[in-house]
Amino acid sequence: MTTTQPAQPRQPDAGPPKLEALGITKLFPGVVANKEIDLALHEGEILALLGENGAGKSTLMNIIYGLYQPTEGQIRVDGSPVEMHSPRDAIDLGIGMVHQHFQLVPVMSVVDNIMLGSESVDRGLLDRQSVSAQIQELSERYNMAVDPNSIIEDLPVGIQQRVEILKALYRNAEILILDEPTSVLTPQEIEGLFEVMELLRSQGKSIIFITHKLKEVLRIADRITVLRRGEMVGEADPATTSQENLAALMVGRKVTLEVEKEPASAGDVLLQLRDIEAHTDLGEPALRGVSLDVRAGEIVGIAGVQGNGQTELVEVVTGLRPATSGSVLISGVDLTNASPRRITEEGAICHVPEDRHMYGMVDAYSVADNLVLSSYYKRPFSSGLTMNEQAIAQHAEELVAQFDVRTPSVRTSGASLSGGNQQKMVVAREFGRPIRLLVAAQPTRGIDVGSIEFIHSQIVAKRDEGIAVLLVSYELDEIMALSDRIAVMFHGRISAVLPRSQATRERIGLLMAGVSVDDEPQN
Amino acid sequence: MATATSTAGLTRTLRALLIPSLALLAALLAGAVVMILSGDDPMAAYSGLFKGAFGDGKGWARTIRKTIPFVLTGLSVALAFKVSLFNIGASGQFVMGSVFAVAVGINFEGLPFYIHLPLALLAGIAGGLLWGAIPGILKVYTGAHEVIVTIMLNYVASLFGGWTVYAGGTQGQTPGPLWDRTAGAISETPDVLHSAQIPWLFGPPYRVHYGVFLALAAAILVWWLIFKTPLGFEMRTVGHNMRAARYAGIRVNFTIILTMALAGGLAGLAGAIETLGLNHKFAPEFGGAVGFDGITVALLGQTHPIGVLLAAFMFGALDGGAATMQFESGVPADIIQIIQALVLAFVAAPLIIRMIFRLRQQEDQDAGSAVSTSWGGT
């Protein structure tokens, strides 16, 4: 597959680009997903592809990976035009892709997953040993420690991602496409990934890094290409550009990245957690005595690396997980281990769940039905025996307008909205009813800058109405931007609660890593 | 990509009809191939089939008579599907419904029909309800998969039904409690009392009883329950996304048990109607094959109550015309079962149909994915 036909070099002394996309246009029925996109990736370079959800990044990458055929345009590898009809062709050309949702078999070992599809066979039997040795060698060369014999589902997400990268390298990938690789990682894991990416670059691999996170782009990319609505709207040099510039390019208008808010005027304690203990689904201790107060009119942010009990804490508060000891008081009423419905009603709480697809919405339901998911049984949506479709539709029209959910109609299925609009739909439903306590877990996970800005401003608006807000986020930036007080969770405990003014990034970072700082309580 | 217009509803309906219609067509074509291979004339067979099903008043009566139980067992399976539950137990629930109904129907002499008949019908529903609730309860409290439990309970119901009418043995074994003492060595119940029989809408030779309206009413009721009531909203939410249902405050366990019980009740009603309207007695051979066909009917009907009505009518016509087909063309009536089985295969594997008829992939959920999601467990 390697031809040495010279092509016109795009950069004088760099030789032909490793990978080139020329005039790529991709039409789907009724939609222009990509329009005349030109892209060049050079050897030993990290190219960031930046764009909001639905900007056409994934379509473009699927074309480069052989999953789609372009309607028009050409792909060149090492200067010569190539035609790809399947990912197999792309792999043969040295292109590897790490998808946002990993393509691993959870019950199989690392070795088995890596050799899957290109099994090494010795006298009719699988030759796990030589593959295992190759994996060892690769993981040493690229500084990605992985035990080849461990089972995928036992591994943390960050390690699973390494397996995906190793899988591509095992197939001799020279070009790596990483699709939103940081969206599932903790800050530490992100830094680890960046180190791996730098090592790969120094060894001559070329990387396309797809993301919508501006800070990361500035940190790691050599060059930045921005897509908007299927078109290339600009290139930028990370040395000279700024987050504001990139955001404006992405969204097409000026965006406020800072959250504007007045100092909080906190009132009475609304949520009172005392010595809460709870288990994970596997029966291991997840919460080991959590006590926390949230007052009306303040935002308490819970910072911490994913998996330190935040998920379980939110579930205990909202009634989705039983507390094995301790108490939950909302507005002075003991709602420990009450049913989710009772907590919603008596506690007047709303809950933006961590995973909108898993908990927050029913994909197959219309926007209108999704908007009554937690109030369908109440008047006027339901009058005793029957549901009132008209009231449900009218309620939906109002919320869609108020929360700027972009949908062709309220009868459109929730699944067909973009991620940002799905999240706005969830937020609209939860914020759109009378509440006293707002529990928001990862309220802006995986959504675009424009929607993040909107949801942040809504959270602050709720606080200013005097509502108590418990915010959980794995993105320290989000915690720092929104919180009035910051509680750090480590190992199922709250290791410190700091007022925002005393919470420096360094101090929080240390606490998140489990290092106790000066006079913090240890419990 | 979203084309939300006023015709969206109509388009969706047409789309939903597309795959089942083509599946039926493909099954009939495949049946024709089988006939040609065995030296028969498919044209003669199908014209005989059509004549038998719709040729005259008696044909229509046969078709309608056969349609009734298909509607109810189809609804039973479809209702469970809406909650992502796989009710393979319609067969056993049908038998329990028959036994319970007949137990009431052969007793309580002297009751007026307006009390006796509803009582017998309710008993049948209760029998099925009970038989459906058990797998629901076991699923919720022990995690036992409803497919396994319902299949096992089919055997239990079938053997239980046989026991109730056991004629006793030559060595003087105790006969079953519902056995007809005047029947000699035959294992069957006495005839259901007149006051518990469903009256004829058209008497012999047509033999169509008023149960046809019960079946229609059940279909409308199930449609209304699923799509128009808060309970139906809860059921569908549990079916689509159990986690989201818990998050929304829905009692997931209760909904699962209730759904399985209601599904069982529908199949039980089917048994009761067949017993009280047509057979007028219970015997082991009036077993629940129609319960298994309910799975095919539900899938062919895209698990929608109105679709189930149409699919049941199709199956009723196939069964209704089978005998005439054999009589007129010499093609064995068993070919109809082959065709019915092929319909299930084609509906459950819509990709084959799409390939045969070169259809483009659609985003709508269809029955095939209902099968796979029920097994996926997510």
Nearest to A399 by CA among A387, A381, A415, A377: A381
* Whether the bond into A263 is cis, omega within 30 of 0: no
Of A353, A369, A407, Cβ closest to residue B247: A353
Instruction: Check if A71 contacts B (Cβ < 8 Å).
Output: no
Residue B57 CA from chain centroid, whole number: 24
Say which residues have a Cβ less than 8 Å from residue A465's Cβ, sequence separation at least 6: none
Min distance B365 CA to chain A CA atoms (Å): 9
Alpha-carbon span B316 to B32, nearest angstrom:
19
**pLDDT beyond 90 at B150:** yes
* pLDDT tens over chain A, length 523 residues: 444 444 443 444 457 889 999 999 998 776 788 999 999 999 999 999 988 776 888 889 989 999 888 999 999 999 899 999 888 899 999 999 998 778 889 899 999 999 887 777 777 778 888 889 999 999 888 888 888 899 998 887 788 889 999 999 999 999 999 988 887 676 777 888 999 999 999 999 999 999 877 888 999 999 999 998 889 998 889 988 888 888 888 888 777 767 778 888 888 999 999 999 999 888 889 999 999 999 999 999 999 887 889 999 999 999 999 999 999 999 999 999 999 999 999 989 999 998 888 899 999 999 999 999 999 999 899 987 899 999 999 999 999 999 988 888 899 999 888 778 899 999 999 998 889 999 999 998 777 777 888 899 999 999 999 999 999 998 888 999 999 999 999 989 999 999 999 988 888 888 887 776 554 444 4
Q: Which B residues, 70 through 129, put their C-beta within 8 Å of a C-beta on chain A?
A: none
- Looking up tokens 């909205």 gives A417
Chain A, nearest residue to B224 by Cα: A386
For residues B240-257, average pLDDT: 95
What is the β-pairing status of strands A485-490 and A493-499? antiparallel
Judged by CB atoms closer than 8 Å, whether chains meet at B246 and A373 is answered as: no
B8: chain A residues, CB-CB within 8 Å: 411
C-beta separation of B106 from B193 below 8 A: yes
Instruction: Check if B230 contacts A (Cβ < 8 Å).
Output: yes
Alpha-carbon span B89 to B77, nearest angstrom:
9
Instruction: Check if B37 contacts A (Cβ < 8 Å).
Output: no
**Interior angle at CA A74, CA A73 and CA A75, nearest 5:** 140
Q: How many CB pairs under 8 A join A and B?
A: 75
Instruction: Check if B8 contacts A (Cβ < 8 Å).
Output: yes
Q: What is the pLDDT of residues B256-274, one digit of tens each?
A: 999 999 999 999 999 999 9
Instruction: Check if A376 contacts B (Cβ < 8 Å).
Output: yes
Instruction: Check if A386 contacts B (Cβ < 8 Å).
Output: yes
- Looking up tokens 């510039």 gives A245
Alpha-carbon span B222 to B75, nearest angstrom:
8
Alpha-carbon span A391 to A407, nearest angstrom:
19
Alpha-carbon span A13 to A16, nearest angstrom:
9
Q: Where are the domains of chain A?
A: 103-172, 256-348+434-523, 360-432
Say which residues have a Cβ less than 8 Å from residue B12's Cβ, sequence separation at least 6: B364
B220 or A453: which leads in pLDDT: B220
Confidence grade of residue B16 (pLDDT, cut at 50, 70, 90)? confident
**Interior angle at CA A87, CA A85 and CA A91, nearest 5:** 115
Instruction: Check if A188 contacts B (Cβ < 8 Å).
Output: no
C-beta separation of A78 from A40 below 8 A: no
Topology of domain A256-348+434-523, CATH: Rossmann fold (3.40.50)
Nearest to A70 by CA among A100, A26, A40, A31: A26
Min distance A351 CA to chain B CA atoms (Å): 9
Alpha-carbon span B130 to B189, nearest angstrom:
22
Q: Where are the domains of chain B?
A: 18-31+39-168+179-365
* Whether the bond into A17 is cis, omega within 30 of 0: no
Alpha-carbon span B272 to B266, nearest angstrom:
10
- Phi–psi pair at B296, nearest 5 degrees: -65, -45
C-beta separation of A460 from A262 below 8 A: no
Alpha-carbon span A191 to A215, nearest angstrom:
12
Predicted pLDDT at B371:
44
For residues B79-102, average pLDDT: 96
Alpha-carbon span A248 to A298, nearest angstrom:
30
Judged by CB atoms closer than 8 Å, whether chains meet at A416 and B8 is answered as: no
C-beta separation of A263 from A500 below 8 A: no
Interface test with A, best of B233, B251, B362, B366 (most A CBs within 10 A): B233
What is the β-pairing status of strands B200-202 and A493-499? unpaired
Chain A, nearest residue to B9 by Cα: A411
Options 2.40.50, 3.40.1720, 3.90.1480, 1.10.3470; CATH for B18-31+39-168+179-365 is 1.10.3470
Say what the ipTM of the complex is: 0.84
A386: chain B residues, CB-CB within 8 Å: 224, 228-229
Judged by CB atoms closer than 8 Å, whether chains meet at A373 and B248 is answered as: yes
Q: What is the DSSP letter of A413?
A: B
Judged by CB atoms closer than 8 Å, whether chains meet at A386 and B237 is answered as: no
A31: chain B residues, CB-CB within 8 Å: 1
pTM of the model as a whole = 0.79
Q: What does the H/E/C string look like for A358-412? A: HHHCCCCCEHHHHCCCCCCCCCCCEECCEECHHHHHHHHHHHHHHCCCCCCCCCC
Q: What is the pLDDT of residues B343-377, one digit of tens each?
A: 888 888 877 777 777 776 543 333 334 444 444 33
Q: What is the pLDDT of residues B69-88, one digit of tens each?
A: 999 999 999 999 999 999 99
Using DSSP's 3-state secondary structure scheme, residue B133 falls into helix
